[in-house]
């Protein structure tokens, strides 16, 4: 039995300028939700926090383009994103917003603490400016050539192609994204910087300690800026949308979105407590030095979560540092890069309507881009869902449970029956591999072990052929079914974090009244009680994906590609 731990799990808060697509789901939201469900099955006390990131240049630029206000933009997408989470069974405790008043208070508190502790300094430097628009141009207000890999259309704070982060002034040939024509020039302005150089030694020590437990790809991105030598980084912007800098001399300036956004994890917990009548609940979690913090993020957030966010926490000085940062790579679509601007994406809401949340979560986990980019194809989706989720899992359950009802009145365990030792051994092996994988956030590896258990149980059922054995030895046939269904119980429990709805329905068919989410992994080897009966209503839970559905989805993507030519 594991010692009961207090664990805070977060997924990167989605930017409130558009709905979720499958790349977002595969990047962090499905893996994060799987991890939370697994940890709760282990009996740990887990808090799962998320919300929307509602500040920054990306929001204000979109508001300008749509001739509306930033508040209208974030209000719209908060509701859309919140519903996306519900539709995809991302079961967070709270879904907050970084425009909440208490988030402003918490972010300003972080700034003032870091300033007091000597980790924030003021500088006057030349910043990008558009003479036509009479505006300074932070972050996404400019596009240009990446100073590192030289790809075109790189943003002003980070290159999506190579993952490098830099100051907007480092862009080559920066162009204003408001007027789209004016080349940005430099103009002096004052800003406040977090002294990353002062934190380089503790950051190096911290990352060195994580070298063996974090993923290689995450460590690779984390070490890049440290190897180059950390420099002070601006954490304020000349914008009128964001958390105001809490200094009299900083009128008209707001905190950089990447300073206040991760603080949104903490303010989300604060909202969770406020809703429950416990406004100080966040302190019991985030200020507990024994609490374990686990972040799930996408590739483009790795540097900020492994270097900048850790630096912010160190500069404040009150909080434990994250135990684990799980950063996935990118998910491609039919061999092409997902592009929201060109509508070349599979939107989460559309996918759930078309194929259901369980099938979508299952396939995204099977191809999860955990250490390298992976590729979503509709053909492979159909093959995996039909051949594995519907057949390896669903068909086995349907056959075994229906046979038990037809011939043994649904009673699982014959008097004095023991589970076949081969099945017990295989369950133990699977649980060990499954748990080891998920401890590191590797849901793809964990699911692979469950699929292999399913294949083993199918092979066992076929080898034993209880339908034939019953003709000569009904008691032995009943014993075979008992062992098979014991294995199925383990299979369903292990599949639950990936496919919660399907697992719950199978759990009910197995005759359990307690919800599967209330179960414990330690119960996986507990025997069925004498007289336990399964449900008499055994129906297929997973429907196979029809060819017509796949053809329709492929055609939609094909039309999108044609429009790009």
Question: Which residues lie closer than 8 Å to 536 by C-beta, 6 or more apart?
Answer: 405, 410
**Average pLDDT, integer, range 533-554:** 97
pLDDT of 1 over the 70 cut:
no
Nearest one of 107, 97, 102, 106 to 75, comparing CA atoms? 97
**Average pLDDT, integer, range 543-556:** 96
Domain 6-109+257-353 has CATH 3.40.50.620: yes
- Tell me how far apart the alpha carbons of residues 55 and 199 are, in angstroms, rounded to a whole number: 26
The CATH class, in words, for 383-525 is mainly alpha
Give the 3-state secondary structure of residue 376: strand
Q: What is the pLDDT of residue 561?
A: 73
pLDDT in tens, 59-75: 999 999 999 999 999 99
CB atoms within 10 A of CB 52: 24
pLDDT of 527 over the 90 cut:
yes
Instruction: Name the token pair of 46.
Output: 């887990």
7 forms bridges with which residues in the sheet? Answer: 46, 292
pLDDT of 562 over the 90 cut:
no
> What is the overall mean pLDDT for the chain?
95
pLDDT of 182 over the 90 cut:
no
Q: What is the pLDDT of residue 373?
A: 97
Q: What is the pLDDT of residue 564?
A: 57
* Total residue length of the chain: 565
- In Å, the largest CA–CA distance within the chain is 92
The crossing angle, in degrees rounded to 10, of helices 421-439 and 30-41 is 130
332 forms bridges with which residues in the sheet? Answer: 375
Question: 149-158, 215-224, 313-322, 497-506: which has the minimum mean pLDDT?
Answer: 149-158
pLDDT in tens, 126-150: 999 999 988 888 888 889 999 999 9
Question: How would residue 343 be classed by pLDDT, with cut points 50, 70 and 90?
Answer: confident
| Angle at CA of residue 209, ends 227 and 27, nearest 5° | 75
Question: How would residue 181 be classed by pLDDT, with cut points 50, 70 and 90?
Answer: confident
Question: 5-14, 178-187, 384-393, 503-512: which has the minimum mean pLDDT?
Answer: 178-187
pLDDT of 2 over the 80 cut:
no
| Angle at CA of residue 476, ends 475 and 479, nearest 5° | 90
Return the percentage of the chain with pLDDT > 70, whole number: 99
Q: What is the pLDDT of residue 540?
A: 96
pLDDT of 341 over the 80 cut:
no
More confident residue, 89 or 168: 89
Nearest one of 92, 139, 61 to 269, comparing CA atoms? 92
Q: Are 158 and 206 in contact (CB under 8 A)?
A: no
Question: Which residues lie closer than 8 Å to 550 by C-beta, 6 or more apart?
Answer: 378, 379, 381, 382
pLDDT of 437 over the 80 cut:
yes
pLDDT of 162 over the 90 cut:
no
The CATH T-level fold of domain 120-255 is: 2.170.220
pLDDT of 478 over the 70 cut:
yes
Return the percentage of the chain with pLDDT > 90, whole number: 88
What's the distance, CA 350 to chain centroid? Answer: 19
**Average pLDDT, integer, range 154-159:** 84
Q: Are 129 and 169 in contact (CB under 8 A)?
A: no
More confident residue, 131 or 509: 509
Contacts 24+ apart (CB under 8 A), 409-412: 409/533, 410/511, 410/533, 410/534, 410/535, 410/536, 411/531, 411/532, 411/533, 412/481, 412/482, 412/485, 412/486, 412/511, 412/528, 412/532, 412/533, 412/534
**Average pLDDT, integer, range 297-313:** 96
Nearest one of 436, 209, 223 to 323, comparing CA atoms? 209
The domain spans of the chain are 6-109+257-353, 120-255, 383-525
Question: How would residue 123 be classed by pLDDT, with cut points 50, 70 and 90?
Answer: very high
pLDDT of 188 over the 60 cut:
yes
């Amino acid at each position: 039995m594991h010692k009961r731990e207090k664990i805070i799990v977060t997924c990167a808060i989605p930017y409130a300028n558009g709905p979720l697509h499958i790349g977002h789901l595969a990047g962090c939201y499905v893996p994060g939700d799987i991890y939370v469900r697994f940890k709760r099955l282990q009996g740990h006390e887990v808090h799962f926090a998320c919300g929307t990131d509602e500040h920054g240049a990306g929001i204000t630029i979109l508001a300008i383009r749509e001739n509306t206000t930033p508040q209208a933009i974030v209000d719209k997408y908060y509701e859309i994103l919140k519903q996306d989470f519900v539709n995809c069974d991302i079961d967070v405790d709270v879904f907050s917003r970084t425009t909440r008043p208490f988030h402003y208070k918490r972010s300003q508190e972080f700034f003032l603490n870091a300033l007091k502790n000597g980790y924030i300094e003021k500088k006057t430097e030349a910043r990008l400016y558009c003479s036509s628009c009479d505006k300074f141009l932070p972050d996404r207000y400019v596009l240009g050539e990446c100073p590192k890999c030289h790809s075109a259309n790189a943003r002003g704070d980070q290159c999506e192609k190579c993952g490098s982060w830099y100051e907007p002034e480092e862009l080559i040939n920066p162009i204003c994204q408001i007027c789209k024509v004016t080349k940005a020039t430099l103009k002096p302005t004052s800003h406040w910087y977090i002294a990353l150089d002062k934190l380089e030694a503790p950051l190096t020590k911290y990352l060195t300690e994580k070298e063996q437990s974090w993923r290689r790809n995450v460590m690779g991105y984390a070490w890049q800026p440290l190897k180059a030598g950390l420099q002070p980084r601006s954490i304020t912007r000349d914008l009128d949308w964001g958390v105001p800098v809490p200094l009299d001399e900083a009128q008209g300036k707001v905190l950089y979105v990447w300073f206040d956004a991760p603080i949104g994890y903490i303010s989300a917990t604060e909202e969770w407590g406020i809703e429950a009548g416990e406004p100080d609940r966040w302190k019991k979690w985030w200020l507990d030095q024994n609490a374990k913090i686990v972040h799930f993020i996408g590739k483009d957030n790795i540097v900020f979560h492994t270097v900048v966010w850790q630096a912010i926490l160190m500069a404040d000085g009150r909080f434990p540092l994250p135990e684990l940062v799980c950063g996935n790579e990118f998910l491609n679509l039919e061999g092409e890069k997902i592009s929201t601007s060109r509508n070349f994406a599979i939107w989460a809401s559309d996918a759930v309507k078309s194929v259901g949340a369980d099938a979508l979560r299952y396939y995204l986990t099977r191809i999860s881009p955990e250490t390298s980019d992976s590729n979503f194809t509709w053909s492979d989706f159909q093959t995996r869902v039909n051949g594995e989720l519907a057949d390896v899992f669903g068909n086995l359950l349907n056959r075994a449970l229906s046979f038990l009802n037809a011939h043994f009145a649904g009673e699982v365990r014959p008097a004095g029956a023991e589970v076949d030792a081969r099945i017990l051994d295989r369950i133990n092996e699977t649980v060990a591999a499954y748990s080891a994988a998920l401890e590191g956030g590797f849901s793809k590896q964990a699911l692979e072990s469950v699929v292999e258990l399913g294949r083993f149980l199918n092979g066992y059922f076929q080898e034993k052929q209880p339908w034939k054995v019953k003709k000569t030895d009904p008691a032995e046939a009943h014993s075979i079914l008992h062992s098979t269904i014991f294995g199925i119980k383990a299979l369903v429990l292990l599949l639950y974090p990936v496919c919660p709805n399907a697992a719950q329905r199978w759990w009910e068919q197995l005759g359990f009244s307690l919800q599967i989410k209330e179960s414990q992994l330690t119960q996986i080897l507990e025997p069925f009680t004498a007289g336990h009966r399964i449900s008499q209503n055994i129906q297929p839970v997973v429907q196979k994906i029809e060819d017509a559905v796949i053809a329709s989805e492929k055609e939609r993507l094909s039309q999108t590609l044609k429009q790009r030519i």
